[in-house]
Amino acid sequence: MSLTIEPGTVKKSLSAHAAIGLIAGALLYIVSLTGTVAVFYQELQRVEQPNAPEMASITPEAVQRGVEAVLASEAGQPSTTHLYVHLPDKELPRTAVTTDTQAVYLAQDGSISGPEEIAWSDFVVKLHYTLNLPVLVGITIVGILGVMMLALAVSGVVAHPRIFRDAFRLHARNDSGVGLADWHNRLSVWTLPFSVAIALTGALIGLASITAYAIAADDYQGDVEAVYGPIFGEEGEADLRPAPVPDVAAALEHMAEAYPELNLTYAILHDPMTKGQHIQIVGEHDRRLIFGEYYAFSADGTFEHTAGLADGDWGQQAAASTYQLHFGTFGGLPVKLAYLLFGAALTAICATGTYIWLGKRRRRGIEEPRLRGAWHGVIIGTPLALTLTLMARFLFGNAFPFPIVFWIGLMIAIFACAEIIKRKAAD
């Protein structure tokens, strides 16, 4: 018994299949482009809010005053579960305090100077991390895209045995897509170590979340923090009875005396102003890929232990190294510029790969002007939509709905380009 399918149905199915491939390619392109921009997250914050107070350092006493002022400003509200103090460093010489409900900058003396307004910078990072979808869904999709990118990098090398030998050879011909394929292949070779590192770490970061949720649901009654505890440090038992503000100054003073070589980046208060509260200080280690080590303190500032990210099991150290390797936040400006160069090349690889794919289909007689136009819209529309949201930030302020405008602007660009190319093909 044979299955008979109408030619029109086959054609529509092929178009649908191609459209799905186009969507996957578009998401890879968006993630690559926004990841390249997000490398300069700290610099973007300074551009977005240039008048925030800046300082090379801040005293422990000033940090304590700032923490007390922020917690006092939240009196009468539900207790915040975490309070983060970003300590000034070379990349971002600002002190900011973030709770569950607000984010403010501190002046040099620890007084609150005003709200932190970096919604556009945060929007770009969230677009890269989650595509502005709910966190678990979005980060899982991005993790899968990382796996796809890794598979494309490996399969591309295997599919072109002479790719390394011809790494610096370009064909003179530019017709039939040969020139475009040449540049695609050469860029792929030149950036291969970077592409593999970015894809692998992106996949690990993305898929780790859904793995943690699955383990938590199966073994820890849904407690995700219990899954991450052995790696990044335990949260401790909650005790919500009221208590005084913890002594952050004492913890910072201990760090300055015991670990003067470290660059302290964050002070974190868990369940502040409750009996179960405790303090963590994050310290960066020079010439290490780990984002830092967690130093745990009791509420009175007594040192207790480290999490082991700097000298614990190799799995802990590897997990703590994926973030800096993925985002290029090690080595200062030279590394960021290198990530900009390689990230731009990776974005171009994503763009040209789909153009090559569409060109091959066209040479086989599969004319799809709408898909070609849609891809033009993705390539042109993504940076234009990002630029539009940045302009809106300065024109309309921090509360502007950046995700909505970005996605609507991108959709308009895609449909407009698809319609223009379709009409040109019909003429």
Q: Once rounded to an integer, what is the mean pLDDT over residues 172-190? A: 69
* Helix (H/G/I), strand (E/B), else coil: 258: helix
Instruction: Flag whether pLDDT at 5 surpasses 60.
Output: no
Please tell me the predicted confidence (pLDDT) of residue 152: 82
Residue that has been written with the tokens 């890794």 in this structure: 150
**Plot region of 308 (φ>0 → left; ψ -120 to 50 → alpha; else → beta):** left
What is the distance of C-alpha 265 from the center of its chain? 19
Q: Is residue 110 part of a domain?
A: yes
Q: Is residue 80 part of a domain?
A: yes
Beta strands in 56-156 (DSSP E): 82-86, 95-98, 103-106, 112-115
Cα–Cα dist 427/126, whole Å: 42
Contacts of 278 (CB under 8 A, 6+ apart): 236, 246, 269, 270, 271, 296, 297, 298, 299, 304
Please tell me the predicted confidence (pLDDT) of residue 162: 62
Q: DSSP for 24-54?
A: HHHHHHHHHHHHHHHTTHHHHHHHHSTTS--
Angle between helices 135-159 and 178-190 (to 10 degrees): 110
Please tell me the predicted confidence (pLDDT) of residue 233: 74
Q: Is residue 314 part of a domain?
A: yes
Cα–Cα dist 239/274, whole Å: 6
Q: Is residue 239 part of a domain?
A: yes
Write out 354-378 in H/E/C secondary structure. Answer: HHHHHHHHHHCCCCCHHHHHHHHHH
The residue that leads in pLDDT, 312 or 226, is: 312
% the chain with pLDDT above 70: 89
Apex CA 65: angle with CA 59 and CA 68, to 5°?
140
Q: Is residue 96 part of a domain?
A: yes
Q: Once rounded to an integer, what is the mean pLDDT over residues 60-78? A: 93
Please tell me the predicted confidence (pLDDT) of residue 178: 59
Using pLDDT thresholds of 50, 70 and 90, give the confidence band for residue 1: very low
Instruction: Flag whether pLDDT at 250 surpasses 50.
Output: yes
Instruction: Flag whether pLDDT at 49 surpasses 80.
Output: yes
Instruction: Flag whether pLDDT at 168 surpasses 70.
Output: no
pLDDT digits (tens, 9 = 90+) for 269-317: 999 999 999 999 999 998 899 999 999 999 999 999 999 999 888 888 8
Please tell me the predicted confidence (pLDDT) of residue 10: 44
Q: Is residue 382 part of a domain?
A: no
Q: Once rounded to an integer, what is the mean pLDDT over residues 323-341? A: 93
Q: Is residue 267 part of a domain?
A: yes
Instruction: Flag whether pLDDT at 67 surpasses 70.
Output: yes
Range of the domain at 316: 45-121+223-327
% the chain with pLDDT above 90: 61
Q: Once rounded to an integer, what is the mean pLDDT over residues 234-260? A: 92
Contacts of 241 (CB under 8 A, 6+ apart): 274, 275
Terminal C-alpha separation, the chain: 43
Please tell me the predicted confidence (pLDDT) of residue 18: 52
Q: Can you give the length of the chain in residues?
A: 427
The mean of the pLDDT values for the chain is: 87
Contacts of 12 (CB under 8 A, 6+ apart): none
Instruction: Flag whether pLDDT at 138 surpasses 50.
Output: yes
Q: Is residue 2 part of a domain?
A: no
The residue that leads in pLDDT, 175 or 420, is: 420
Please tell me the predicted confidence (pLDDT) of residue 206: 86
Q: Once rounded to an integer, what is the mean pLDDT over residues 155-166? A: 65
Q: Once rounded to an integer, what is the mean pLDDT over residues 161-187? A: 64
Please tell me the predicted confidence (pLDDT) of residue 99: 97
* Number of folded domains that form the chain: 1
Please tell me the predicted confidence (pLDDT) of residue 13: 47
